[in-house]
Amino acid sequence: MLKVLFVCLGNICRSPMAEFIFKQMVAEKGIADQFEIDSAATEGFNEIAHEGIDYRAKDMLRQMNVPFTEHYSRRIRPKDYDRFDYILCMDDANVEDVQSIVGLDKDNKIHRLLDFTEQPRNIKDPWYTGNFDDAYWDIYHGCQAFLEYVEENKNGTKTL
Ligand code: 4NP
């Protein structure tokens, strides 16, 4: 069982999109039962407001035929570091914020999602850019590359 937590600032745009895109990817490969997949925020305001997924992210998922259920924003907690094998962030700021919440990344679990691709970079926040298409494709390619990584069992890290 590989436990994967996607993280962004608000947990209403990028990380829930990543959660459901990755869930669909592993379901289509018939390996969903080998994963636990969740998403979380670095900030707590959307958890306090009990915010669900942004309607523009939902529209994007519907447009791409990615099934999803409702997900309410929750802030990452220190215990999530022990619970998950991979904590996959959308940008550098998320990585810094996660580290400040969970402490030292002693097991090298915290990464940017696009660091598994040929072009390591941040995924721009569509909450600010309004560009949910770009966010979708960045997340899609990041999830594909991450899945290849865990399937290929590289570097002796925890993989399938
Ligand atoms: P996300 O985008 O980190 O991709 O979920 C944001 C969502 C909400 C806010 C900021 C970013 N916000 O300020 O409420």
3-state secondary structure 72-91: CCCECCCCHHHHCCEEEECC
**pLDDT for 107:** 96
Determine whether 8 is an active site residue. Answer: yes
Pick the CATH number of 2-154 from 3.40.1170.10, 3.40.50.2020, 3.30.70.660, 3.40.50.2300: 3.40.50.2300
Whether the predicted pLDDT of 79 surpasses 70? yes
Determine whether 143 is an active site residue. Answer: no
**pLDDT for 157:** 65
- The model's pLDDT over 51-69, given as tens digits with 9 standing for 90+, comes to 999 999 999 999 999 999 9
**pLDDT for 155:** 52
Where are the domains positioned within the chain? 2-154
Read off the pTM.
Answer: 0.96
The residue from 38, 97, 125, 138 that is catalytic is 125
- The model's pLDDT over 99-133, given as tens digits with 9 standing for 90+, comes to 999 999 999 999 999 999 999 999 999 999 999 99
Query: Within 6 Å (CB) of ligand 1, which residues are found?
Result: 8-14, 46, 125, 127
If one compares 155 and 160, the residue with the highest pLDDT of the two is 160
What is the position in ligand 1's atom list of the atom closest to the CA of 73?
Answer: 5
| pLDDT, the chain, mean | 96
Distances from the Cα of 68 to the Cα of 55, 57, 117, angstroms = 12, 11, 25
Residue nearest to atom 10 of ligand 1 (CA): 10
**pLDDT for 152:** 86
What is the position in ligand 1's atom list of the atom closest to the CA of 128?
Answer: 11
Whether the predicted pLDDT of 77 surpasses 70? yes
